Amino acid sequence: MTPIMRGLGAARCATWAVLPALALAALGPPTYTAPPFPTSAFSSYYVAPTGTQQAQPVIVDPVSGKTYEPELTDPNTIPQQASIPPLPLPSGILDSSEYLRSLALAQILAIANSSAPAWKDSCTKCLAGTSVAKSLAAVAPSEIPTLAIELCEKLQFSSSCNVTFSILNYGALVAQLLQMADVAGLDGQNICNYIFNGLCPAPSASPLGDLSLWFSKPKPSDANEWVQRRRTQAGQRLKVLHLSDVHLDPRYSTGSEVNCTSSLCCRNPSSSQGVAHVQFPAPYYGAYKCDSPLALVMAAFQSIPNLTDTQATGFAWSIYTGDLVSHDPNNQLSQDYVTYTETVVYEQMKRYLGSGPLYAALGNHDTYPAHLDIPHAGLPDDIENEFSWNYEHLSTLWEQEQWISPNEAEQARAHYAGYSVKRQDGLRIITLNTDFWYPDNYFAYINMTNPDISGMLRFLTDELQAAEDAQERAWIVGHVLTGWDGSNGLPNPTNLFYQIVDRFSPHVIAGIFFGHTHEDMFSIYYANNATTISAATAQTVAWIGPSIVTLGNLNTGFRMYEVDSETFEILDAHTWYSDASSFSTLDHEGPGPTWKYEYSARDAYGGGINWPSDAPLNATWWHKVTERMEADPSLVQKFTTYQGKLSQLTPACTSADCVKQKICYMRSGSVPISRQNCQTPQ
């Protein structure tokens, strides 16, 4: 870290003291009650909204021209198994061999049940067993789904083995993974840790090696000077919307059981729950254990312009940090279900959120099978391109909505739905497919010694270098966060991401934005891999946006940023919510949910911090907030209350252990840092 960068905090204060005041953005009313369902939003319906049924609109896909059939979203006809395999089986030497499968099964069971010294622990057994399965996958991959079912049943891994490992579900995925992964090395250790629930200990992050191979140029010693020049300009406060995690459930069944014991709640009993008598009927606008009915999504979209006072102007731009699709098990999903959801949600965002562009990232649920994306790494074409249908659909949809250009759409097709937009105002917005550091993406366990097998982080680095060369600022938009408690990402790619952020902060990266947790959170990135954690070393902050969905005992919410038009730094963040516990009193005919202003980040956390009134809420400020939390633990409870969007069901955080751990999470921007620094309270 150069002396200039170390002194940037002081230099900022000196510069901000002479900045012209930026007028506070005007907001709408403190509360707004949504009107009833806007039937004019859709041209026709299979089922119009009633007191007992959600609206089921007729949707024509603007990309494919397909009219989606009513059975796709009918709550009474939810499939219990896919009709065609979601992924192809890889090729092998033999078409099939029941004999080889029986040998593999016997050998793996013998290893699992052995007490011999050679199989001394669960990790050794797991690695040996997966090696046997890999041998079968190389010769007769068509036998792998049946082998997986047999092992699952005999070792009692699950009560739904036939469904989970069917060729119509994860069967082909297991065969592909076994063929391509190094199951005797780091890949196998991670598979046995993540997929097999801790049979191997979690591997540490691998050394990254010579980072000069990643960065074509060193960080400029005078990098902050052009940022300082921007700060002396008379900027404006732009309104920028952050939405996340809609999780539309087009099969939501009003009046079904809210408090179910299996699968997704607020569904008809015949579909998933096995509930004989409904004790807690699902309200029309949603519930705490359910995904979002269309009624809630439309109520939110109608309310946002009124609450933010953007009815006439729209937002300067909006970001969406992923997860459109409901939390269905894979056997109830399909490509059509995903593209239907993408079409509905993005079309209604275009309708209600104004003329400004929306920049979106793909979430882990926004694909089929869920969580999966495969790297373009010299694999056979039928495997390498098996998710291109989704990149094609999303990129074309975004282009048709005029949010991105044809060139940017082509970039999205080539980079797993990730792309970079160079805006005319000097901001570069880079969206990423974060499935490549998500533990539930089983394809991320291929060649794990390479922290960037997908090339996604190389793409990010090249875009940030181009932004630095052009003296632009950049926003990074993704879904799965890289840090916090260490459970959301994989060690190697999140470690590399952290080093990329270090190299290009704070002079290029003006903000990082994630979703995924459904909660209102933040994460701070420090210089030199957080070897020293202080206000002086704080470089960048990730804003983790609240969700529209209420699943997880949360209220529904959204956020709007006030952004400096010259520096693209965030001057304040405003959050609104609606209390899902009030939805039981609402129906389709009367007024919809009431949305309320929740808080201003500057007002909620800024007391007691010596900070200029027009200075941005950057990483230095957020670190000072965490210092205040250490001095006043009640501020952690305030944060926790906002984390759940004022849900009465959010657990309190008042013990000394909880306070310490949560502050540590706020200061952890990668999985290795979280694991190293943050201890679980006893």
Please report the pLDDT score of residue 550 as a whole number: 98
The mean per-residue pLDDT over the stretch 252-271 comes to 85
Residues 142, 30, single domain; the answer is no
Would the annotation count 516 as a binding residue? yes
Would the annotation count 222 as a binding residue? no
Q: Where residue 313 sits, what CATH number does that domain have?
A: 3.60.21.10
Q: How far apart are the first and last CA of the chain?
A: 37
Would the annotation count 328 as a binding residue? no
Please report the pLDDT score of residue 270 as a whole number: 54
In a domain, 477, yes or no: yes
pLDDT digits (tens, 9 = 90+) for 426-466: 999 999 999 999 999 999 999 999 999 999 999 999 999 99
In a domain, 404, yes or no: yes
Would the annotation count 242 as a binding residue? no
Q: What are phi and psi of 325, to 5 degrees?
A: -90, 150
pLDDT digits (tens, 9 = 90+) for 620-652: 999 999 999 999 999 999 999 999 999 999 999
Please report the pLDDT score of residue 276 as a whole number: 60
Residue 5 has pLDDT above 60, yes or no: no
In a domain, 203, yes or no: no
Q: How far lies 50's CA from each of 36, 126, 587, 632, 645, in Å? A: 11, 53, 9, 50, 29
Band of residue 16 on the pLDDT scale cut at 50, 70, 90? very low
- The pTM assigned to this predicted structure is 0.95
Residues 180, 237, single domain; the answer is no
Residues 190, 237, single domain; the answer is no
Long-range pairs for 99-108: beta carbons < 8 A, 24 or more residues apart: 100/136, 100/139, 100/140, 100/143, 101/136, 101/140, 101/143, 101/146, 101/147, 104/132, 104/133, 104/135, 104/136, 104/143, 104/147, 105/147, 105/150, 105/151, 105/154, 107/132, 108/132, 108/133, 108/151
Band of residue 80 on the pLDDT scale cut at 50, 70, 90? confident
| Owning domain of residue 631 | 3-34+233-248+284-677
pLDDT digits (tens, 9 = 90+) for 82-94: 889 999 999 999 9
Residues 29, 170, single domain; the answer is no
Residues 362, 493, single domain; the answer is yes
- The HSE-up count of residue 339 (CA atoms within 13 Å, CB side) is 24
Residue 98 has pLDDT above 80, yes or no: yes
Would the annotation count 365 as a binding residue? no
Residue 12 has pLDDT above 80, yes or no: no
Q: Helix, strand or coil for residue 623?
A: helix
Judge whether 60 and 627 are in contact, CB under 8 Å.
no
- Nearest CA among 450, 409, 446 for reference residue 431: 409
CA pair distance 217, 592, nearest whole angstrom: 55
Residues 191, 242, single domain; the answer is no
pLDDT digits (tens, 9 = 90+) for 141-162: 999 999 999 999 999 888 889 9
pLDDT digits (tens, 9 = 90+) for 197-250: 899 999 999 999 899 999 999 999 887 777 777 777 767 999 999 999 999 999
In a domain, 651, yes or no: yes
pLDDT digits (tens, 9 = 90+) for 287-343: 999 999 999 999 999 999 999 999 999 999 999 999 999 999 999 999 999 999 999
The mean per-residue pLDDT over the stretch 552-570 comes to 97
Residue 487 has pLDDT above 90, yes or no: yes
Residues 152, 242, single domain; the answer is no
pLDDT digits (tens, 9 = 90+) for 496-521: 999 999 999 999 999 999 999 999 99
Which of 134, 167, 195 is the endpoint of a domain? 195
Would the annotation count 247 as a binding residue? yes
Residues 24, 106, single domain; the answer is no
Count the domains in the chain.
2
Band of residue 261 on the pLDDT scale cut at 50, 70, 90? confident
Would the annotation count 336 as a binding residue? no
Residues 523, 411, single domain; the answer is yes
Residues 344, 473, single domain; the answer is yes
Please report the pLDDT score of residue 263 as a whole number: 76
CA pair distance 373, 408, nearest whole angstrom: 20
